[in-house]
């Protein structure tokens, strides 16, 4: 069972939520692999603090959801960081179960748009 996490109220006050009071949250695992992107508002962040689990706001269903309530593939919050503009979160998690994607994949990022190997340029 995850433990509650302490939230820094001084940083929370600086958060710059966008349209509808939402901001994107990039979720990465302990090895920094990108798992998913979802949206949060102040209430979702509060719920993460209280529960120690990831909570998001569904723009299509217009409701809050805790990752894993349906699939069983939960995420314990290890750390929440903000970018320099305070308008995007990076949430480091301990992923439980098969993965983060609703398709059953470990990561939602599995489809390559680019062709060929990257040359680092």
Q: What is the domain extent for residue 16? A: 9-95
| pLDDT digits 0-9 by tens, 43-93 | 999 999 999 999 999 999 999 999 999 999 999 999 999 999 999 999 999
Number of domains in the chain: 1
pLDDT, tens only, 93-119:
999 999 999 999 999 999 999 887 666
Query: 3-class secondary structure for the chain?
Result: CCCCCCCCHHHHCCCCCCHHHCEEEEEECCCCCEEEEEEECHHHHHHHHHHCECEEEECCCCEEEECCCCCCCCEEEEEEEECCCCCCEEEEEEECCCCCCCCCCCCCCCCCCCCCCCCCC
In a domain, 101, yes or no: no
Q: State the CATH number of the domain containing residue 38.
A: 3.10.20.810
Residue 119: its pLDDT value, please?
A: 62
Q: What is the pTM of this model?
A: 0.92
**pLDDT tier, 121 (very low <50, low <70, confident <90, very high otherwise):** low
């Amino acid at each position: 069972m995850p433990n509650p996490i302490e939230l820094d109220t001084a940083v929370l006050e600086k958060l710059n939520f966008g349209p509808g009071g939402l901001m994107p949250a990039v979720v990465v695992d302990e090895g920094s692999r990108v798992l998913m992107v979802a949206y949060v508002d102040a209430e979702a962040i509060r719920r993460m603090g209280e529960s120690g689990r990831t909570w998001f706001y569904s723009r299509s269903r217009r409701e809050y959801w805790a990752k894993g309530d349906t699939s069983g593939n939960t995420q314990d919050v290890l750390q929440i960081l903000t970018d320099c503009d305070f308008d995007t979160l990076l949430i480091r998690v301990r992923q439980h179960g098969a993965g983060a994607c609703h398709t059953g994949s470990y990561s939602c990022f599995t489809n390559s748009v680019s062709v060929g190997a990257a040359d680092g340029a």
